[in-house]
Amino acid sequence: MRYPKTKMFLGLIAAAILWIVVSGIEPDRADAGLAPVSTQPGNGAVLVIGGTRATGLEIVKLLRARGDDVIVLARPDSKTADAESTGARIARGDAMNPGDFAAIFAGGGIRAVVSTLGARSLEGPRPDFEGNRNAIDAAKAAGVSRYVLVSVIGAGDSWDTAPWVAQQFLKNLFPEKTRAEDYLRASGLAYTIIRPGGLLEKEAQGRVYLTPDTGAMSWIRRADLARLSVQALDDPDAIGQVYHAHDPDRTRFWSIPLN
């Protein structure tokens, strides 16, 4: 009997190992001049797409901790207890349905969008491009210009940074992320694109920073990635930039704590 899910999982582990082992060069910082994460809420709500789990939920926690009004788009069948516990408002809808975004923006008061949109499965239809396209179009129509997109190393001009194994196992992911990045750049919105490498759980811990070096890659904790995303959201100097999220302490597989 064949076990395709197990095979895919083992392949992803192999890709992740190669992803980290092949690079250890310290890239230049891009965020030395960016302001630190503000402790004050912004003027208006932030719509977080993908905010019910993973990196998106970490972003919601940071924003709510300082008092931001946060709206989280959640599918009708999504579990929202963690996001709701922060005080975030839940807007039920599907990113694949343009009308759901139009209804959210119609309420007014949204100042920015942060998207960590992506499917859990590597098979089947993905919302990475189409969902972001719908959000971008709705934001433009509503006059909301600020958009932060969490993408992935391997998208766009960072394709060569991802090793061959990752390119094979993530072959349905990278093109969709690239299309989303390209669409956002051409939209006229005040965008920032942040590309992480391998993602880890646990609390924020690393000496993370943003770099324009498309050859930079590392593992990074989701909580650290969330902090970088909010930092970029706050700072006008990050507008129009494409960054890699980098943790200099986790550029090699053997440097990653396993607990």
Where do the structural domains in the chain lie, given as residue ranges? 4-251
> Average of pLDDT values for 202-229?
91
pLDDT of residue 24: 47
pLDDT of residue 85: 98
> Average of pLDDT values for 206-232?
93
Q: Which residues contact 191 (CB under 8 A, 6 or more apart)?
A: 147, 148, 149, 184, 185, 239, 240
SS3 call for 33:
coil
Q: What is the pLDDT of residues 158-196, one digit of tens each?
A: 988 876 777 788 888 999 999 999 999 999 999 999 999
103 pLDDT tier (thresholds 50, 70, 90)? very high
Q: What is the pLDDT of residues 9-38, one digit of tens each?
A: 555 555 555 444 444 456 766 554 455 677
> Average of pLDDT values for 95-121?
92
pLDDT over threshold 70, residue 1: no
What tokens were used for 241?
Answer: 């930039």
Tell me, what amino acid is at 82?
D
Is residue 172 classed exposed, middle or buried when 0-12, 13-18 and 19+ CB atoms within 10 A define those classes?
Answer: middle
pLDDT of residue 161: 83
- pTM, full prediction: 0.86
SS3 call for 190:
strand
Is residue 44 classed exposed, middle or buried when 0-12, 13-18 and 19+ CB atoms within 10 A define those classes?
Answer: middle
Nearest by Cα to 79 from 98, 69, 70, 92: 92
Q: What is the pLDDT of residues 47-87, one digit of tens each?
A: 999 999 999 999 999 999 999 999 999 999 999 999 999 99
Q: Give residue 49's region: left, alpha or beta (phi > 0; psi -120 to 50).
A: beta
Domain with residues 4-251, CATH architecture: 3-Layer(aba) Sandwich (3.40)
pLDDT of residue 254: 57
> Average of pLDDT values for 224-233?
96
pLDDT of residue 259: 42
Q: What mean pLDDT is reported for the chain?
A: 86
More confident residue, 111 or 125: 111
> Average of pLDDT values for 136-155?
97
Q: What is the pLDDT of residues 7-17, one digit of tens each?
A: 555 555 555 55
pLDDT of residue 122: 58
More confident residue, 217 or 188: 188
